[in-house]
């Protein structure tokens, strides 16, 4: 093909794509559809969002928010509904063969039934901050102001199986019925029962709430960078305590922990221990019903941090009776902080054991 012909075809293709896009944007104007920038579903104002509550057929999630921006903190309660054993599917009536000689078809089994959810509570992570930004304000991809009964059926809104509520610090609130996903995408139809308007929300709005247990969890249980801490007091029951000083915090890459009496001397045992403290991550948060009772976990060490804010971390262990042998005890390791609201979270067995084993050298006289 000659260069001139190629150029002409390219121009025609661009024109066609532009016309198709304009047609898509204007499609259904009689139903009150707007473009993305115009469709505001909920505006919490400058006060911001304080609570989100998702109630689905298979799971539920609540997100409580305090503060804004970098100071935002969130607490999440989420859980999957327990699948309830449904009734046995009824057998086809009559003989094996129907009256017309064809084989009788078994009745379709009933849909699964879900009961109450098994909840777990944990601090919200970075994705909560990103989620709250999507609600400030909440925008939709499209709006449908007039939808008939057939349309509601197609959108899964005739008998919605999920709902979403939003509350702002100023007292504003919104209730949405949640329908099915749009054909060929993960975007979801929702309906405001007060106004009757239907909206198409992007997948990134509802996706984190649908999978809150895995996507909204904060695993960094300290919740602040090491450079924010100036001093640390490490204490172990029956083994004494030791104060440590954080040096060179103006340069995060070269900062180190040291004995305050020898601030210019890098002690690899001290620095290595504190780096492991800040690398500690939650592997799981227990279900609320299985939360360890107070006193059931043996405290191994506690670190109190001082700086702009007072913070702390406690590391503990519990005997794992299933894995332990008579001459070889095995422990599960747990940690709790101000960020976890003093609830124990599981941490890596190796990480916990390494910190426990390092105490002897760190607290040696």
- For the chain, the three-class secondary structure string (H helix, E strand, C coil) is CCHHHHHHHHHHHHHHHHHHHHHHHHCCHHHCCCCHHHCEEECCHHHCEEEEEEECCCEEEEEEEECCHHHCEEEEEEEEEEEECCCCCCCCCCCCECCCCCECCCCCCCCCEEEEEEEEEEEECHHHHHHHHHECCEECCEEECCCCHHHHHHCCCCCCCEEEEEEECCCCEEEEEEEEECCCCCCEEEECCCCCCEEEECHHHHHHHHCHHHHCECCCCCCCCHHHEEEEEEEECCCEEEEEEEECCCCHHHCEEECCCCCCCCCHHHHHHHHHHHHCCEEECCEHHHCCCCCCCEEEEEEEEEECCCEEEEEEEEECCCCCECCECCEEEEEEECCCCCCCEEECHHHHHHHHHHHHHHCCC
pLDDT of residue 23: 37
pLDDT-based confidence at 3, cuts 50/70/90?
A: low
Average pLDDT for 335-348:
96
Q: What is the pLDDT of residues 163-208, one digit of tens each?
A: 999 999 999 999 999 999 998 888 999 999 999 999 999 989 999 9
- pLDDT at residue 14 is higher than 70: no
pLDDT-based confidence at 2, cuts 50/70/90?
A: low
Mean of per-residue pLDDT scores for the chain: 86
- pLDDT at residue 151 is higher than 70: yes
pLDDT of residue 34: 41
Rounded to two decimals, what is the model's pTM? 0.80
Q: What is the pLDDT of residues 97-113, one digit of tens each?
A: 555 555 566 667 777 78
Average pLDDT for 330-335:
96
């Amino acid at each position: 093909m000659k260069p001139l012909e190629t150029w002409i075809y390219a121009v025609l293709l661009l024109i066609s794509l532009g016309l198709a896009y304009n047609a898509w944007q204007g499609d259904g104007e009689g139903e009150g559809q707007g473009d993305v920038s115009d469709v505001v579903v909920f505006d919490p104002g400058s006060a911001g969002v304080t609570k989100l509550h998702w109630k689905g057929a298979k799971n539920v999630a609540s997100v409580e928010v305090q503060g804004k921006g970098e100071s935002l903190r969130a607490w999440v309660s989420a859980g999957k509904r327990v699948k309830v054993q449904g009734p046995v599917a009824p057998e086809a009536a009559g003989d094996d063969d129907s009256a017309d000689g064809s084989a009788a078809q078994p009745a379709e089994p009933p849909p699964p039934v879900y009961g109450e959810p098994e909840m777990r509570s944990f601090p919200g992570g970075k994705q909560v901050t990103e989620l709250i930004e999507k609600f400030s304000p909440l925008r939709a991809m499209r709006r449908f102001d007039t939808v008939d009964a057939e349309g509601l059926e197609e959108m899964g809104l005739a008998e919605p199986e999920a709902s979403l509520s939003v509350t702002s610090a100023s007292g504003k609130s919104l209730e949405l019925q949640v329908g099915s996903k749009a054909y060929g995408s993960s975007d979801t139809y929702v309906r405001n029962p007060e106004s009757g308007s239907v909206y198409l929300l992007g997948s990134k709005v509802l996706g984190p709430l649908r999978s809150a247990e895995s996507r909204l969890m904060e695993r960094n249980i300290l919740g602040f960078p090491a450079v924010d801490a100036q001093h640390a007091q490490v204490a172990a029951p029956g083994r004494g305590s030791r104060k440590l000083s954080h040096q060179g915090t103006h340069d995060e890459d070269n900062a180190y922990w040291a004995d305050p009496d020898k601030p210019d001397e890098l002690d690899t045992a001290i620095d290595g221990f504190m780096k492991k403290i800040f690398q500690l991550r939650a592997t799981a948060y227990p279900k609320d019903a299985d939360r360890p009772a107070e006193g059931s976990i043996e405290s191994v060490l506690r670190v109190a941090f001082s700086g702009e804010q007072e913070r702390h971390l406690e590391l503990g262990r519990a005997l794992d009776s299933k894995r332990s042998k008579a001459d070889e005890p095995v422990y599960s390791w747990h940690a709790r902080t101000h960020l976890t609201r003093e609830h124990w979270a599981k941490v890596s067995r190796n990480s916990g054991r390494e910190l426990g084993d390092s105490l002897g050298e760190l607290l040696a006289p």
